[in-house]
């Protein structure tokens, strides 16, 4: 390969890295408060189109907006969508990624789905074990549709 191709490739990688998704934080008490009054009967049917046109149908939490904080601790609000990802870090530094529209929060646990393709891949994490909750739009081009 020639040097100019290599330089362009490096430039593209750096540009993509600098323009990456913004990450927001949600304190555990804030997450619990946003899900107050929501139980499994509150979930709604949604239809989702994936990046290559595939279609999914599942039950999602009814939150339309997500209250969170940017890295400077300023309040922020994100629109809930199928591409929003939530990364939980436990006190043991184990990380788990959920799709935000597929999570549910009880008094003691956060429950979530970890895969669009293997919907049985679920996990529950005790709220008391959570050190940090990060949220970002993964830009994976999943969109809600009418059907």
Q: Give dist(CA 100, CA 135) in Å, integer.
A: 8
For residue 110, is it within any domain?
yes
Please state the domain count of the chain: 1
* Three-state DSSP state, 70: coil
Q: Which domain holds residue 57?
A: 22-145
Q: What is the pTM of this model?
A: 0.82
- What's phi and psi for 143, nearest 5 deg? -135, 140
- Is position 10 within any domain? no
52/141 Cα distance (integer angstroms): 9
CA dihedral 97, 62, 142, 102 (to 10 degrees): 30
Residue 103 lies in a domain: yes
Q: How confident is the prediction along the chain (147 residues), in pLDDT tens digits per residue?
A: 555 544 444 444 444 443 457 999 999 999 999 999 998 899 999 999 999 999 999 999 999 999 999 999 999 999 999 999 999 999 999 999 999 999 999 999 999 999 877 878 899 999 999 999 999 998 889 999 998
Whether residue 121 lies inside any domain: the answer is yes
Question: pLDDT tens digit string along 104-141?
Answer: 999 999 999 998 778 788 999 999 999 999 999 988 89
Residue 129 lies inside a defined structural domain of this protein: yes
How much is the pLDDT for 91?
97
Closest CA to 127 of 113, 112, 109: 109
Domain presence at residue 9? no
Whether 47 contacts 147, CB under 8 Å: yes
């Amino acid at each position: 390969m020639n040097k100019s191709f290599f330089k362009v490739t490096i430039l593209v990688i750096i540009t993509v890295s600098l323009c990456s998704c913004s990450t927001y934080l949600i304190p555990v008490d804030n997450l619990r408060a946003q899900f107050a009054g929501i139980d499994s009967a509150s979930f709604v049917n949604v239809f989702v189109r994936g990046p290559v046109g595939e279609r999914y149908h599942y039950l999602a939490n009814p939150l339309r907006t997500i209250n969170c904080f940017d890295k400077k601790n300023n309040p922020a609000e994100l629109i809930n969508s199928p591409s929003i990802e939530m990364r939980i870090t436990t006190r043991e530094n184990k990380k788990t990624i959920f799709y935000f529209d597929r999570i549910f929060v009880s008094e003691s646990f956060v429950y979530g789905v970890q895969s669009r393709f293997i919907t049985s891949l679920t996990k529950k994490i005790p709220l008391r074990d959570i050190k940090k909750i990060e949220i970002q739009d993964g830009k994976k081009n999943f969109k809600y549709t009418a059907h």
